[in-house]
Structure 1
């Protein structure tokens, strides 16, 4: 009699057929095979102040030719399904993981999909390819020479206790190494803020340096904090061969150099980089390549042109593509992109909720009465002022106070020690905002004066506190006001609230500011962050450029006389703080044109204190599992998603009444972004259980409270068929249900708790029903009575 595989579970098929077939073909199970390989964390879903996790992506098998060089994926199914039933999922995962071969199996054999050629074939269980066979096929398909192979297979850096690269970091590293091995000398990597660009860069540099293909490396950044963080953290293994260029005289004995490109290019006309010979560096890495560097007359462009033969890698979270500026025109198309949307969907980045607050003067505008003067006695120009003018041309004192009040109100409702960055129009605005926030939080400021601080480039005391703001172990400062200084490059895992009270027209700057909040820190209590928007800046979330490819790539046409940056065009998104652009300007003066001419004069901003500003709208916005704005109410969104899963009440009841499926139903709903506790709060009825909540929202059934359901059970006399002791146990279970719902009701451990431990021992209580089996049957019957 032959054995029927169809009675086996998927796990049995893997253990009895697939794993032995892999091992037999020469794969080292311990070193080359990862089973149940989980490669995402599951999206964080936020409703109110509650969070849950969506489903993680998991491959049944991931096979590695060398550590961190995956080459094949296998998706398994039970034998009731066909051999190729797992292939579409396998292909999807292979695309995500950058794996060249995908397999599907049900234990009878394998279907193989060659990702490069798009071909499929069926092979028997005993013919699964060996590691060498797959690697040689990959080499042949990609035309990889033996010399290139040495670079591509150079091991990653790893020390005991080190983190392993996430899948997208590994993809970026391997693609870069392979591209360089094959002779590509300009490379652009696009990775969202908070996804580990510096760690990725370290592994790229390490493998090239260790293989001695790149012996002298230059890492360029535009802020000291970026260089210092890099040296202290990810680049620490280079400490014996690494130096930071700080002086005008350069020591050429090191192998890894880190520098500010402003310093190398020379301030005052001295080009320090020319102390090196043009052939000195083999590899140059440009961090934050979207900033002032994205122009052909920028500081680093001179450096790169001087070291003409070096390989160049550009890193950015935001590739810059406009008519005037293009880093793609220099580096070429990105060889790998991992976007903010990808990071949030995978659960590696914090999702966001947006609170949009509309102030009357912002939405309606403000026009001064004829002859009105400001607090300095200056006549205010008679015209309509709007949100673009406020704090740049005209200061309404009460507007600043209202913003400070709303920020403080939010923190008091949530956590007053949530790290908060308030982005302001300029330094002077940041200082006024600091004062307004202090006056709203005098109690905590009295305890510690550093509770609220301004961190801008002109203020040494504020800048000195930046490390403390970033430090999760330091309470102070908690709230900081800034203008441009903290828009980029600051590794701030602690930031839970971003306040936008500045006008942002640049998608680049917007992405960088949002990036201050995207780093997850669950052990710090940070699983999402909040954007409080006073200037409708969050409209940029809906822009096609927010997370997509550039709408248009501008390629200069020399025949038409085009330049990437015309000589008379200034880049408007250079990332500099106002005091860095114009030292000595403290933000109180503005340029104005006279009679439409180019002649400019200086005057103070108008400041008024007798105009009242009110809040006229406040809206909280959530985003669904696909990262799209939920425009309908939470109730409508829930109903729509439940009906997609359970088309009618009968379908839902069949699943619910199967008992063991209830938790699965709740988990499925969580993965759809439906958190029942948040929904209970939203409809204002905390006393109904999950069953009534679902039936009420999705199927319009009048809900019963848990107490009402318990009373109905007692009225029907259901308990009287049991002995006195058994009745007391069931009455105790009903009380537990009334207080806590069905949770843990079927677990016998509950009998060790109050009030059951006052009635008798768990063994004695179970015997009141006859035995354990009959006790569990009675509990299931009780649950059915509850929902009768």
Structure 2
């Protein structure tokens, strides 16, 4: 057995306690001195002492223990070089793969004690303006709290578009400023993201200085940081190569080189993500990728922070549960992200029936390896559904039909105000095909576009970095076709249209795709999804990124949502309608230009409309009533309608529909689901039973309760009307009462006007009414059209309705109509539900 004191020059800085095996110490330290007694040091002298205590009276800052075995993760407690920083008791004891260098030890010795730095960090309330949104500050605070608690692995979950990079920059600035970190490694998985991060450090400023000018920053092309370097950016691939591929020792980072490692997009590595450039090291499956960056994280004696919009199981296993989460839905409600409309489902003859190949049929086969077509005889009967299109079977005519429809009805690169479009193709060859077909489609309808208006940007694009910059900053390209390259970290706020021409099975990849369009874009209240392969429907039940504005064909006004929230029958319904109200407000606010925003902010006496709307989510029912005036002001504010060119050119698409209800169903299926729901619940839900069997007893609050119940199950009046019109080719503006009774009793569906006109014609014909009485009858008719019901009797009708109550209620009606007051209500009820 041999024990050693570690020296830098003549200064003892640590202890090696060797167990079981002798250790050979060389290279990492200047010298090793054999000793047999415990000791303390002062200055440059080593003085033996009788007792050595590290907990309270440490004299040697660093403790090492090893048995000589090389580090092995599976036998972590029995291998490697165990290290503990005795000056910082909360610093976790852990096994290292190799020795610290003298520079590592010098850097650690010069660092402020962690406890002292944590205190400074906690007392520092200065958060840079570059990330001063409330949730960004909350995210930084949560990470710093975890650091102060001694956590060594930390996870942050923030929705795409909420500024994870800016949040990370703010965190790095504060950690370095308060000397809690001496040097930080920022890991990304793609060179384009490394460049983007480097640019963000140059562009974002604290005061008048950029972060890069305040702190030394090394980019991913620089292998080893300098002594003054505070932030180093690297790709995971590059760091793996430097650490584990046997490169020169002078280019290999040491275990103590960084105090923090921040892993951007820590979820990455899903198996479908194959689109890296040729000069980037490829990982062919998720396990391989995750294990590699985990090796990097484990190598350094550093606190590791993972950042992602979509935490995956393996991410949580490495970093633990998120210390802070900010969801897509919350971002929409707070006014920082853009909601999406119901998806446009594009179906063609081929997508609906599939493509059938028969045994012994000779077909053309494209050989991707040789880039040529070959003849092939089918060994058996095979049918391909739409999820195999453009991957297992190339379908030019399917793509042509979809591209023609997109060009005719939805997209126009010559109209910048419509926003930009990102199309997800299945392969690089498929992307080429789509670019060409789209250009042909615009020529076909007499709307030719510039050659660079539609472009492919994939891993095979040699000029992809330049093209990404053009996509972000210039008018063209307006439409970009990609595979996976643009799924992560690319910030192009003007993307307002997402097109799916490929099916993916990964929830994480799908959410990253949608995330490309969630950033706010002036004048656009929600982005659109065009789905030709059933992607949205296949992911609807597993993703958290469904539309916050739940109604697919939105017809309710802001005022109506406010009224539904105000009259909600329970807390669940109140929260649901309040959510819809805030989502509707945020959509309208996003469409305001600067002049309109300033005008409304003056009217409402608010400094930021989006923040005001987002704060409504925290208000109680009583507090929400105080905002009625402001809600009404925004609701009544007139906006110019958005327009888009629509062509009537013939195409081969069989249908373009929007989904209905919670399950994104087709119109006929949605109506069938509603019929089943009513029949199955008419004896279970008293409110529904009342509509069916005793409709004349309905009160306004009963109807509100019915609407709330049905809404929570995905059934809304405007959607039922739209689905009925689409299925039966008849426009019947029926009320929810009519739909419930039609489903349960099979009676003909009548429009609301028909029902009310029938009832009121009986009332108008009762007698010769005077002018005052006629005006009051007209008011009754108006209330019927707004509320669908009047009340089970005259007392309930006129005392329960706020409009009549304010005018004197039932007592006033008696002075106007006399004995006929009760008869009017009875006749209305009898004929409303005849």
Q: TM-score range by the shorter chain?
A: 0.5 to 0.7
Contact 2:160–2:309 (8 Å) recurs in 1: yes
Which residue of structure 2 aligns with residue 395 of structure 1? 394
Q: 1:664 to 1:507 in 2, by over 3 A?
A: closer
Cα shift at 1:408: 4.5
1:716 and 2:716 equivalent?
A: no
Equivalents in 2 of 1:195, 1:145: separation in Å?
A: 31
Residues 492-543 of structure 1: CA deviation (Å, up to 9, x unaligned)? 55545433333535454344334435x2649644446535142768535557
Residues 257-304 of structure 1: CA deviation (Å, up to 9, x unaligned)? 444444566799978994866534221201012335864797755654
Alignment of 1:194-593 (within 5 A): 194=161, 196-202=163-169, 204-227=171-194, 230=197, 232=200, 236-237=205-206, 239=211, 240-242=213-215, 243=217, 245=219, 247-248=221-222, 252-262=227-237, 274=251, 278-292=255-269, 295=288, 300=293, 303-304=296-297, 308-319=300-311, 326-327=314-315, 330-332=318-320, 335=323, 350=339, 353=342, 355=345, 357=347, 360=350, 363-367=354-358, 370=361, 378-383=374-379, 386=384, 391-392=390-391, 395-408=394-407, 411=410, 417=418, 419-442=420-443, 443=445, 445-459=447-461, 464-466=466-468, 469=471, 477-492=477-492, 494-502=494-502, 504-517=504-517, 519=518, 521=520, 524-527=523-526, 529-530=528-529, 532-534=531-533, 539=538
Q: Which has the larger radius of gyration?
A: 2
Which residue of structure 1 aligns with residue 751 of structure 2? 705
Find the residue that maps to 2:267 and give its secondary structure: coil
Equivalents in 2 of 1:379, 1:315: separation in Å?
A: 49
Equivalents in 1 of 2:542, 2:358: separation in Å?
A: 31
Once the two structures are overlaid, the 10-residue window that deviates more, 367-376 or 309-318, is: 367-376
Contact 2:458–2:485 (8 Å) recurs in 1: yes
Equivalents in 2 of 1:507, 1:161: separation in Å?
A: 28
Q: From 103, 127, 134, give the equivalent of 1:157.
A: 127
Equivalents in 2 of 1:522, 1:670: separation in Å?
A: 30
Gaps of 5+ in 2: 1-113, 270-282, 367-371, 547-650, 726-730, 791-806
Equivalents in 1 of 2:699, 2:214: separation in Å?
A: 65
Name whichever structure is richer in helix by fraction.
2
Alignment of 1:635-654 (within 5 A): 635-638=671-674, 640=677, 644=685, 646-649=687-690
Find the residue that maps to 1:313 and give its secondary structure: strand
Equivalents in 2 of 1:682, 1:480: separation in Å?
A: 34
Q: 1:410 to 1:702 in 2, by over 3 A?
A: same
Which residue of structure 2 aligns with residue 118 of structure 1? none
Find the residue that maps to 1:487 and give its secondary structure: coil
Equivalents in 1 of 2:298, 2:348: separation in Å?
A: 49
Contact 1:287–1:314 (8 Å) recurs in 2: yes
Which fold has the larger relative contact order, with Cα–Cα distance below 8 Å and residues 6 or more apart in sequence? 1
Cα shift at 1:733: 7.8
Q: 1:181 to 1:194 in 2, by over 3 A?
A: same
Contact 2:362–2:375 (8 Å) recurs in 1: yes
Q: 1:145 to 1:635 in 2, by over 3 A?
A: farther
Contact 1:358–1:618 (8 Å) recurs in 2: no
Q: 1:704 to 1:783 in 2, by over 3 A?
A: farther
Q: 1:485 to 1:330 in 2, by over 3 A?
A: same
Contact 2:153–2:319 (8 Å) recurs in 1: yes
Residues 749-782 of structure 1: CA deviation (Å, up to 9, x unaligned)? xxxxxxxxxxxxxxxxx99x99999799999998
Equivalents in 2 of 1:780, 1:156: separation in Å?
A: 69
Residues 599-619 of structure 1: CA deviation (Å, up to 9, x unaligned)? xxxxxxxxxxxxxx9878988
Residues 327-360 of structure 1: CA deviation (Å, up to 9, x unaligned)? 5554456556667788799997746756374764
Q: 1:405 to 1:192 in 2, by over 3 A?
A: same
Q: 1:718 to 1:478 in 2, by over 3 A?
A: farther
Q: 1:236 to 1:692 in 2, by over 3 A?
A: farther
Contact 2:742–2:748 (8 Å) recurs in 1: yes
Equivalents in 2 of 1:173, 1:222: separation in Å?
A: 23
Equivalents in 1 of 2:489, 2:291: separation in Å?
A: 19
Equivalents in 2 of 1:270, 1:690: separation in Å?
A: 72
Which residue of structure 2 aligns with residue 188 of structure 1? 155
Q: 1:776 to 1:225 in 2, by over 3 A?
A: farther
Contact 1:356–1:619 (8 Å) recurs in 2: yes
Once the two structures are overlaid, the 10-residue window that deviates more, 707-716 or 381-390, is: 381-390
Contact 2:159–2:328 (8 Å) recurs in 1: yes
Alignment of 1:739-758 (within 5 A): 741=786
Contact 2:439–2:449 (8 Å) recurs in 1: no
Which residue of structure 1 aligns with residue 86 of structure 2? none
Q: From 717, 721, 737, give the equivalent of 1:680.
A: 721
Find the residue that maps to 1:395 and give its secondary structure: coil
Q: From 142, 145, 152, give the equivalent of 1:178.
A: 145
Equivalents in 2 of 1:310, 1:652: separation in Å?
A: 70
Find the residue that maps to 2:491 and give its secondary structure: coil
Q: 1:715 to 1:449 in 2, by over 3 A?
A: farther
Equivalents in 2 of 1:340, 1:772: separation in Å?
A: 51
Cα shift at 1:176: 3.0
TM-score (norm 1): 0.54
Contact 1:419–1:497 (8 Å) recurs in 2: yes
